[in-house]
Amino acid sequence: MAFWIAVGFISTVVAALVFIAARKPSEAQSPAAAYDLQVYRDQLSELDRDLARGTLSDAEATRARTEVSRRILDADRTIQASQRVEVQSRRGLGLIGAGLVAMIGGAFWLYSVIGAPGYPDLPLNERIALIEEARENRPSQDMAEDQVAVRPAPAVDPDRLALVAQLRIALESRPDDPEGLNLLAANEAMLGNFRAAHRAQSRLIELLGEDAIGRHYIDLAEMMIFAASGYVSPEAEVALRIGLQMEPGDGTGRYYAGQMYAQQGRPDLALPIWSGLLSDSRPDAPWVDPIQLQIADIAFAAGVDLDPALLATPRGPTAADVAAAEGMDPADQQVMIQNMVAGLADRLATEGGTPEDWARLITAYGVLDQINSAQLVLDNAQVVFADIPDALQLINDAFGTAMARAGSQ
């Protein structure tokens, strides 16, 4: 309530000052002609008396009366002009008053719509403290995983599934086999079983003890983040911090550290991490494109102007390459597309890529009528770009096109 009283008082005082200032010119122009007119009329009366006393001749009285009459007419014209200005000034004052009332009323209305009436003052230190409190109390890894919607099982090579099943059975009898756990964690992740993957990775780190390196911890954090659909839990944060302490230059760890701060409402901490990572990275690094899709919003939220040099152009085969292949001899077409698909799939698996790259790979699988492979790429992309709706839309559109092509054949 004190806020509204203070704002209302200040607004009223400012409006009153503006209104008074607008009136001053009209008052200052109040003509002296009214006083002169009275003086001239008195002079006419004095002329009549002088003529009666004989102090002026008729001719002199006539000349003097003519001059005074001329001055009276001039003064009267001045008074009439001043009155017209006064009328216009009053109309202007009315408009100014109405405008001031509308401005103040509009400001209060706009604040009630887009502002936060009744919300207490929240200085920066208090806001940061609230963010930190929310960060400390955010959901755990298990809670986050329980809230993730069940994903459809990706289409996977049956032979791979059989091998992974055998590996699981083998580790039941040899639960302390580091090499087996390493293989299991990697293969569970490739199958999209990220909860099982990070559990195997945690057991691997436990067995390695002091021999565990930063990469082990960063892989663990990544598996946890994928299992939680992109959410960086407290457990994932611990793994990230340990991994980055051991390998501070690791690009994957730095990317997820920035993502963590972005999720927690600290764009001021996320921006320098991502900006530094972009500056240190090759254009084809897997984290470059996801960062570029988000960094403009992060910079805006942090109140910082983004350096345009941090943005890069897309890379990789274009959709025209796939379209050109469709006009070739069937045998040559298959060779070209298969070579392109093999190269692109290998690069995405090892280095990552832009959403456009993932969409092109799905399109190419559609041309090859390999819908199962396209579905697998789509499932992986939905994990990689879980927090980037624009990227997911592009990739889903590419899959829809591939499905439509397959249905028409």
Residue whose structure tokens are 């070739």: 328
SS3 for 199?
helix
pLDDT for residue 339: 65
Residue ranges of the chain with pLDDT lower than 50? 1, 25-30, 313-318
Q: What does the alpha-carbon distance between residue 359 and residue 362 come to, in Å, rounded to a whole number?
A: 5
Q: 231, 259 in Cβ contact below 8 A? A: no
Distance (Å, whole) CA 60 – CA 28? 38
What pLDDT does 101 receive? 80
Read off the pLDDT of residues 42-54 as tens digits, 9 standing for 90 and up: 777 777 777 777 7
CA distance 91 to 34: 23
CATH code for the domain defined by 137-310: 1.25.40.10
The span from the CA of 204 to the CA of 138, in Å, is 27
Choose among 286, 292, 281: nearest CA to 249. 281
pLDDT of residue 201: 93
Q: Of the candidates 358, 403, 357, 366, which has an alpha carbon nearest to the alpha carbon of residue 382?
A: 358
Identify the sign of the CA torsion 392, 398, 401, 406.
negative
- What pLDDT is stored for residue 223 in this prediction? 92
Euclidean distance between CA atoms 207 and 5, whole angstroms:
66
pTM: 0.52
**One-letter amino acid for residue 341 of the chain:** V
* DSSP H/E element including 272: helix 267-280
Closest CA relative to residue 295, chosen from 315, 263, 267: 267
Distance CA 281, CA 255 (A): 11
